[in-house]
Amino acid sequence: MLESKGSKSSEGSCSELATTLKNTLNYDQLTNCMRCGFCLPACPTFRETGIEAESPRGRIALMKAVADGLMDPDYAFETQMNHCLGCRACEPACPADVKYGQLLEQARDSVEQHTESHRWWVKLARKTAFEGMFPHQGRMRLLGGALQVYQKSGLRGLVRGSGMMKLFPKHMQQMERILPDASYRGVVEQIGSVHPAKGERVGTVGLFRGCIMDVMFTETNKHTVELLNAAGFDVVIPESQNCCGALHAHSGEQDGARELAKRNIAAFKAAGVDWIASNAGGCGALLVEYDHLLHDDQQYASDAKWFAKRTLDVSKLLVEHGRLQSAAAAAAAASKVQGTAPSCGGGTAAATSAEVSENSAGCGGSCGSVSFASADPVRITYQDSCHLRNVMRSSEAPRKLMKSVANAEFVELFESDRCCGSAGIYNLTQPEMAGQILDHKMDHVKQTGAHYLLTSNPGCLLQMKLGIEKHGMSGKMEAVHLVDFLHERICKE
Amino acid sequence: MLGDSVKQKLREIVGSQWFKDDKESLITHSYDSTPMLQSLPDGVIYPENTAQVSAILKLLNEHRIPVVSRGSGTNLCGGTVPVEGGIVMVMHRMNRILEVDLDNLTATVQPGLNTKQFSTHVEGLGLFYPPDPGSMAISTIGGNIAECSGGLRGLKYGTTKDYVIGLEAVLANGEIIRTGGKLMKDVAGYDLTKLLVGSEGTLAVVTEAILKLIPPPKTKKTMLAMYKDLYGAARTVSKIIENRIIPATLEFLDNPTIRVVDDFAKLGLPLDMDAILLIEQDGDSETVERDIARIAEICQSENAERVTIATDEAEALKLMTARRSAFTALARLRPTTILEDATVPRSKIAEMVLAINEIAARHNVTICTFGHAGDGNLHPTATTDARDKEEIHRVEEAFEEIFEAAIRLGGTITGEHGVGLVKAPYLEWKVGSAGIEVMRSIKMAFDPNNILNPGKMFAKSTRKRVVLGHA
């Protein structure tokens, strides 16, 4: 009979990884898990497999077994830690408030320090991405530029025509097909870094522009600025900001994440903002946890708290602090709409469906508040960004905004709170599980009959585009970032 | 330990991917929701059908290898912890609803079926399966049957045993028996159906169940009564029953429980109250209105500070869902929560609450109390830390006295969680030595080699009972 041990035991064989895990894992958090199982129904990988080890309770038990010296962490342990999506759906479901996300990061961080399972090219790719690319905004833009050349110069057509893409795994081929047009000029290069509010000023917002967001979805960043301006916010985009560090943190590169966090904190602190706006759930979730990431950094701990407290998703910022009008008023405004507004380009391709009109409301007047209109009736649905919902705990605000669009019928997607399988780079590292989860997701998406499938995070957006492509729904439905959808329908009284 | 040849045969029965003996699988089947218990099995097996269960048991019986059948591992008495090693048999793959018979109002299901999915499914067909254990979102029907789970609706609708009318089960030697059927009356011989319900996996492995369904109530109303005086709340419970009103749900939560539940569920519950009662009545609208009004009067007469009625279905559902989280939410106070379910006749609720608080104070331990007060089934829950051995010892002493107090008031050591490992030393207090003997004989008849969940229910030695004078 094993009693759970009250202190970290040092029995059994002890690999270096075991020692690192024992020193890294927060034993109080491990003890806080009551093993009640409330997390099981919330967990996508448990749902797919029915195997206890594929659940948060099981993974915590494995971590605790290592900490208690009951088990030496082997390759299977490493695999299981990487099998978790990190969607954090278990956290809101946990009555005991166990910080599973932190435990997972501690485990992955330890694993990364000792892993021997990465082949040389995986190591090289990781090093290139985590040290050579993401931390450097300039290089990210170069990458965007390269991609832009590939997409625009005819090279893409050549590659596709030559059948060269067939050399890649199927999920990579599909990914290449749905990638939006990249840009080597980010939001600041295109529109500058200071943008005054329209009408009465509510406060100053610092926009977190992201790295992938700024290369692949520059238009969405621009639309975010314009939406915030219209709702009464001055927007500044501090130029010395960089990647949030989320991909680092989730992949066990804690030190890299901390360095990036410090630079971001310094940039926004210097800009003197009231709020920091994020338009990517995955980034935002790490931004609001900077206080945890830097909790034992004497120099940065208090500034990190300042930063984390002020970070909000753009939808929450609009709903809670912006000047917005009710749906009824929006409907009234919409009925007065004449002419067409500029259509959205770039990040969101223009509507492909004949059923979807590109008409949207023109902006008139210079004060009052923002409302959203839609000239022709459309049906919309929404896939939650897990990190927005489970970490930033914001699921109501996006829905409020969508429901306030006149002439748009909002249909709740069954299990919209379940991960779509994108999960950062999970769809690249665990294509099989990600594909399975995506297929189940698309079954529910089809049921909605929506013209637009809206999301709040670039990863989810790409995954939804992939799903639409994979399930032959292109032309019937389009995946769009919530910000782009609202921007196209903005009208001012 | 399992020999290689037995492992090989097990793999042949279920297919190699459904038998596991790697370290990860053993660790993740070494616990259930009971605090401070862990014991590694030697293997984990996932059967797909009754024939496989039969073949597995026949083999294990020949080799005298222990086997614990397991659903989602949510029980709280150590019932699914493999204390003697052997095989954990996970029933998750057998999770189908085989039939809902709309002519007989019965459902035939497999044991691995999730309770909540089942009840949602039958509600979609316009029927009602009342048993609703706190863990229903996770638990399985098979687990509910093994433990005879109760829940929040027990006082009006009864518990799992009142809805199981037929079973298919596999005995230790691999024989398959069928009991009961789609029958409201059946007295052919001993009632094996009822015997197997609540037998905690010690007599047979249930592979199929016929469940009784009932028409759903037409309407439902949910209310909260808040008290500055804990005993006023407890007296209200007894008084409602005295007044011949049987609510569908009558739950009691004390102040620390209210605080943690609200911290989790963010309902805006009143944090300055000593206790709240969560009351639900269902039925035809006239009766519901009358009962709720009458209950409100009774609450006022016992000096309730406030009585509020949920405005809509969504709010009512939120309250019930929040209440189900109470046990785990208490872990927000201290890392370990030890939850018991001493149960007393409904008229003795106030006395029992008094006794629990007096015992906790005397042993200098924190015990929060919540639970299904309406059916006398309280959940005194100690918040502690498994790493503090001295405090854990005091908690154990306090619970021993709580069991004693429950029995003295005409109650029992467990209302719905089962005996398992944790309460085995106290079973004799409740059933007496002759009771234990007859139970042992039954176990012997079903499972002569003691392979089915060994080490549970019957303790190697009974705790000495210290009868205290009335405090």
Q: What is the CATH number of the domain that holds B369?
A: 3.30.70.2740
Q: Which stretches within B243-332 are classed as H helix?
A: 255-265, 285-301, 313-324, 326-329
**What gap in Å lies between CA A165 and CA A121, rounded to an integer?**
20
The Cα of A214 is separated from the nearest Cα of chain B by a number of Å equal to 36
In this structure, are residues B405 and B363 in contact, taking their beta carbons and an 8 Å threshold? Answer: no
Which residue, B278, B311, B329, sits at the end of a domain? B329
Could you write out the DSSP letters of every residue in A369-436? -EEE--SS-EEEEEPPPHIIIIIS--SHHHHHHHHTBTTEEE-PPTTTTS--S-TTTHHHHSHHHHHH
Q: What tokens appear for A42 in the block?
A: 């919330």
Does A306 contact B at CB distance below 8 Å? no
Domain-embedded: residue B31? yes
Domain that holds residue A74: 8-114
Is B192 inside a domain boundary?
yes
Q: For position A85, which CATH number holds? A: 1.10.1060.10
Number of domains in chain B: 4
In tens digits, chain B (471 residues) has pLDDT values of: 689 999 999 999 999 999 999 999 999 999 999 999 999 999 999 999 999 999 999 999 999 999 999 999 999 999 999 999 999 999 999 999 999 999 999 999 999 999 999 999 999 999 999 999 999 999 999 999 999 999 999 999 999 999 999 999 999 999 999 999 999 999 999 999 999 999 999 999 999 999 999 999 999 999 999 999 999 999 999 999 999 999 999 999 999 899 999 998 888 889 999 999 999 999 999 999 999 999 999 999 999 999 999 888 888 888 888 888 888 888 888 989 999 999 999 999 999 999 999 999 999 999 999 989 999 999 999 999 999 999 999 999 999 999 999 999 999 999 999 999 999 999 999 999 999 999 999 999 999 999 999 999 999 888 877 655 443
Whether B200 and B283 share a structural domain: no
For residue B78, give Cα distances in angstroms to A250, A357, B446.
Answer: 35, 61, 22
Set of chain A residues whose Cβ sits within 8 Å of the Cβ of B92: 50
Specify if B438 maps to a domain: no
**Structural tokens at position B16:** 């190699």
In chain B, which residues have their Cβ closer than 8 Å to the Cβ of A52? 25, 28-29, 73, 90
Q: Is B249 helix (H, G, I), strand (E, B) or coil?
A: strand
**Chain A residues inside the 8 Å CB shell of B138:** 36-38, 40-41
CATH of the domain at B264: 3.30.70.3450
Mutation target for A interface from B19, B24, B385: give the one with most A CBs within 10 A: B24
In a shared domain, residues B56 and B73: yes
**Residue numbers in A near B25 (CB within 8 A):** 52-53
pTM for the predicted model, two decimal places? 0.88
Strand B67-70 and strand B87-90: pairing? parallel
- A336 within a domain of the structure (yes/no): no
A37–B22: do the CB atoms touch at under 8 Å?
no
For residue B102, being part of any structural domain is answered with yes
For chain A, what is the domain count?
1
CATH of the domain at B71: 3.30.43.10
Within a domain: A12? yes
Query: Is B469 within a domain?
Result: no
Please tell me the distance in Å from A36's CA to the nearest CA on chain B: 5
Domain boundary among B197, B212, B227: B212
Is A224 part of any domain?
no
Query: Looking at the domain assignment, is residue B73 inside a domain?
Result: yes
B319 and B225 together in one domain = yes
Containing B392, the helix (H) or strand (E) segment is helix B389-408
> Which residue in the set B90, B93, B331 is minimally distant from A34, CB to CB?
B331
* Per-residue tokens: A240: 């010395």
Query: A–B: how many Cβ contacts below 8 A?
Result: 107
Does the residue A335 lie in any domain? no
Residues B75 and B19 in one domain: yes
* B155 and B102 housed in the same domain: yes
Tell me the C-alpha distance between B305 and B324, whole Å: 24
Domain assignment present for residue A33? The answer is yes
What confidence tens digit (pLDDT) does each residue in A211-267 have? 888 888 999 999 999 999 999 999 999 999 999 998 888 888 889 999 999 999 999
What CA–CA distance (Å, rounded) separates B249 from B154? 7
Whether residue B371 lies inside any domain: the answer is: yes
For residue A26, being part of any structural domain is answered with yes
Please name which of A160, A114, A3 lies closest in space to residue A69, comparing C-alpha atoms: A3
Residues 6-35 (A) with a CB less than 8 A from some CB of B: 6-7, 28, 31-32, 34-35
Pairing of strands B19-20, A490-492: unpaired
Q: Decide if B252 is inside a domain.
A: yes
- The parent domain of residue B26 ranges over 4-90
Instruction: Flag if B73 and A34 touch (Cβ within 8 Å).
Output: no
Are the C-beta atoms of A268 and A241 separated by less than 8 Å? yes
Same domain, B163 and B257: no
Final residue before a domain boundary, out of B386, B417, B448: B417
A49 within domain boundaries: yes
Beta carbons of A61 and B72 less than 8 Å apart = no
Of A366, A382, A396, A381, residue with least CA distance to A449? A381
- Write out chain A residues lying below 8 Å of B114, CB-based: 41
B31 and B113 inside one domain: no
